[in-house]
Amino acid sequence: MFRLATLLALLLVAACSSFDRRGLPGRDVAVIADQGPGDSPAGEPAPPDAPPGDGPADVAPLDLPPLDLPPLDLSPPDSPQPDAPPCPFAVCNKGCVGTLCKMACTGDCSCPAGFACQVECAQGSCTGSIDCSKALSCDIDCATQTGGLACKGAIVCGSGPCNVKCGWGSCQGAIDCSQSSSCNLSCSPQSGSGCTDSIQCGGSCKVTCGSNSCHGNIDCSQSSSCDVSCGSLSCRGKITCGQGYCGVTCGDKSCQDDVDCSQACGCSVDCQSAACWGQIKCPAKCAGSCAPADICDC
């Protein structure tokens, strides 16, 4: 009996020592906890690393140059510009550049409507009138480089800018730029004896009279400003200013008639040696005196 009990005990110990615990419940936590970093989840050694090219590999980003794009223009498109009208070569005998008509005149001269005109009058030419009343602007050269004695008739400018340059003895007719936005008259400043008739000025007006020039009246009553410079023995007629600022410089024995700037907001009349033979009428606010030293400004 004792031997049988001992044999059964030995068999039980042998059976317990050979039992696989992996099938027991709760084994997963204990076994996984015992695994090393190189073990597989089932306890087997982890497979060796895959050779290059057998699995997904890291891809380096492409090194591309930055795009150089122009800034986005959000401004509205430009309005289409109208084409220049056909050049009337019979009148613009020196050709056209866009709306600029170039002409050399001998007798009467008329600028076509819708064009800016550049008028050239050689010595003794332009014996008739020059009509720029319908021009966009007018630039007239009366023999300043060719001897003088040109532009014997009247000169009329339109609403645009008007520039008239007169050589020796030139511009013998009346000059009317009273409707012009600006008027610049150069009456023989170097050679003298130019602009021997009346001058009517509008807009911003500047009149430069050489010696023995500007024999007629100079009327700036329609001007926004008036600047008159009189060389010796020039400006023999009356000078009348408008409501804008008026500046008159009178050289030796010049300004032989009245200078009236009584309606001007400011006035300066500079009478040099033996000048200002007539009466000087200053704005009331200047207390009857408008010499440069009085500083009678607008």
Q: What angle do CA 46, 49, 55 make, to 5 degrees?
A: 120
Domain holding 136, by residue range, is 96-294
- Please indicate, yes or no, if residue 261 is contained in any of the structural domains: yes
Alpha carbon distance 61, 248 (integer Å): 80
Look-up of token digits 């014996």: 127
**Residue 205, phi then psi, degrees to nearest 5:** -115, 135
Query: What confidence score (pLDDT) does residue 84 get?
Result: 73
Decide: 186 and 161 in contact? Cβ < 8 Å: no
Q: Give me the mean pLDDT over the 250-255 stretch.
A: 96
Residue 30's SS3 state is helix
Q: Which helix (H) or strand (E) holds 15?
A: helix 2-17
- Please indicate, yes or no, if residue 190 is contained in any of the structural domains: yes
Q: Give me the number of domains the chain comprises.
A: 1
Query: What confidence score (pLDDT) does residue 28 get?
Result: 44
Decide: 177 and 157 in contact? Cβ < 8 Å: yes
Residue 271's SS3 state is strand
Alpha carbon distance 90, 101 (integer Å): 11
Question: Which phi-psi region, left, alpha or beta, contains residue 134 (left: φ > 0; alpha: ψ -120 to 50)?
Answer: alpha
Query: What confidence score (pLDDT) does residue 235 get?
Result: 97
pLDDT at 30 over 60: no
- Please indicate, yes or no, if residue 185 is contained in any of the structural domains: yes
Query: What confidence score (pLDDT) does residue 286 get?
Result: 87
User: Pick the residue with more confidence: 145 or 94?
Assistant: 94
**Residue 141, phi then psi, degrees to nearest 5:** -115, 110
- Please indicate, yes or no, if residue 109 is contained in any of the structural domains: yes
- Please indicate, yes or no, if residue 4 is contained in any of the structural domains: no
Neighbours of 257 (CB within 10 A): 16
Query: What confidence score (pLDDT) does residue 78 get?
Result: 58
Q: Give me the mean pLDDT over the 257-279 stretch.
A: 95
Q: What is the mean pLDDT of the chain?
A: 83
Band (pLDDT 50/70/90 cuts) for residue 29 is very low
- Please indicate, yes or no, if residue 15 is contained in any of the structural domains: no
- Please indicate, yes or no, if residue 85 is contained in any of the structural domains: no
